Amino acid sequence: MEVLTIRGGRPLAGTVSVCGGKNAVLPMMAASLMIKGKTVLHNVPPLSDVESMSRILGCFGAKIKRENEDMEIDASALTFRSVPEEKMKMIRASNLIWGPLLDRFGRAELPYPGGCRIGLRPMDLHFKGMSLLGVAIEDRGGLIFSRGYKRKGTTICLDYPSVGATENILMAAVRADGSTVIRNAAREPEIAELCLFLNRCGASIRGIGGDALFIDGVRELRGSEYTVLPDRIVGGTLLLSALISAGDIILNNIGFDQLSNVASKLAETGAEVTIDEHSLRLKSNGRYRGVDLRTMPYPGFPTDLQPPFTAAMTKAAGVSVIKEDIFEHRLEFCSELKKLGAKISVDGRIAVVKGRTDLVGAEVEATDLRGGAALILAGLAAEGCTVVKGVSYIDRGYPAVERCLCRLGADISRSEK
């Protein structure tokens, strides 16, 4: 089993070009199933979730070529099949092939997806949207059987701005008969990227970036090329690593558009945050204020940065109240932070963090992707040596995390244990 060993107390400093966005590239890879031709994606991050999605596309006969951060997906000749459960269970985003399969084959037979155990993560909003488009759905004991050869455009009001449901319904509507409106659509930047990508393939989507998406059904889609934007969650995590380690990090390819909401929250701590269109810098002297946090759908503070933020609050002066309003079980990592000496009390979706704690290195275990990032950040600030197990979770969303942090001055290494 691989572990990360961190010797804390070193400030992280330097300039980073952030990798392409995991949560942007995964839906685009799924959408490539809709294209009877080649899709070329640039700035694809080298992540295990990307490999998992590649294996899923391969099940249908898609041919994938990778060269560094470039990916070519040839979906000219596909064969319909039911995806093996073990492949669907690898990631949550596997459920994003539902819309594309309905578009390509008019049917889909899918086991339920996997993904980080951070909440119940039902798919009722996906089901509701597909049904409204005229898709016949049967849940046969954990397998979703659906038929939707003639999907008819309609108006769909989402009870909650679910990212995945918005993406799946969008892809199922692109070639439906007539027009579809998705109201209360998710507004995360990854949705806008998917819309721009689909329009480049010949779709007709308006209202991009807003909470109402207008999709006029088209007849044909064509192969296209797209460069994925940098990963805003990886970027935000790196800024938080500067905060907790009294460092100074510049992100040179992410700016105001993607992280303004996060930048303003980080500035509340008293850290020196400078932002412009294409770069973001956080400089910290290590003495910063505790700040309350509530996670919200975009443009609120992203839930994916809540765990690293909570870790940083263990070293802030004062008390921080963290309210996780998106997922039911996204505070599990706090029990591991307490092994490092953090003073955190968790009650349901609320964590109360008592700051300026002296963290001391210990052996801890990641049980989800972003919780793992939180443990690394705490290790950077802990006295002595911290060993983080469960590295495979972290590799799902942070490419070669130890190499990136080493370049910024951290004492961190990966080894077998």
Active-site residue set: 116
130 to 159: interface string for ligand EPZ, x by CB under 6 A: ------------------------------
For 358, other C-beta atoms within 10 Å of its C-beta total 11
Min. distance of Cβ 255 from ligand EPZ in angstroms? Answer: 20
Q: Is 335 left (phi over 0), alpha (psi -120 to 50) or beta?
A: alpha
Of the candidate spans 56-64, 162-170, 175-183, 349-357, the one that interacts with ligand EPZ by CB under 6 A turns out to be 162-170
Of the candidate spans 77-85, 120-128, 257-265, 345-353, the one that interacts with ligand EPZ by CB under 6 A turns out to be 120-128
275 part of the interface to ligand EPZ, by CB under 6 A = no
Residue number of the CB atom closest to ligand EPZ: 164
Of the candidate spans 66-74, 145-153, 163-171, 334-342, the one that interacts with ligand EPZ by CB under 6 A turns out to be 163-171
Residue choice 104, 187, 232, 370 for contact with ligand EPZ (CB under 6 A) = 370
310 part of the interface to ligand EPZ, by CB under 6 A = no
Subset of residues 73 to 102 that bind ligand EPZ, contact rule: CB under 6 A: 92-93
Q: How many CA atoms lie within 13 A of 3 on its CB side?
A: 14
Of the candidate spans 63-71, 100-108, 118-126, 146-154, the one that interacts with ligand EPZ by CB under 6 A turns out to be 118-126
195 part of the interface to ligand EPZ, by CB under 6 A = no
Tokens 């942007």 sit at which residue?
24
* Residue type for position 70: D
Residue of 232, 229, 234 lying closest to 404 (CA atoms): 234
Q: How many CA atoms lie within 13 A of 310 on its CB side?
A: 37
198 part of the interface to ligand EPZ, by CB under 6 A = no
User: Which residues contact ligand EPZ by CB under 6 A?
Assistant: 22-23, 26, 92-93, 116, 119-126, 160, 162-165, 186, 188, 303-304, 326-327, 369-370, 397
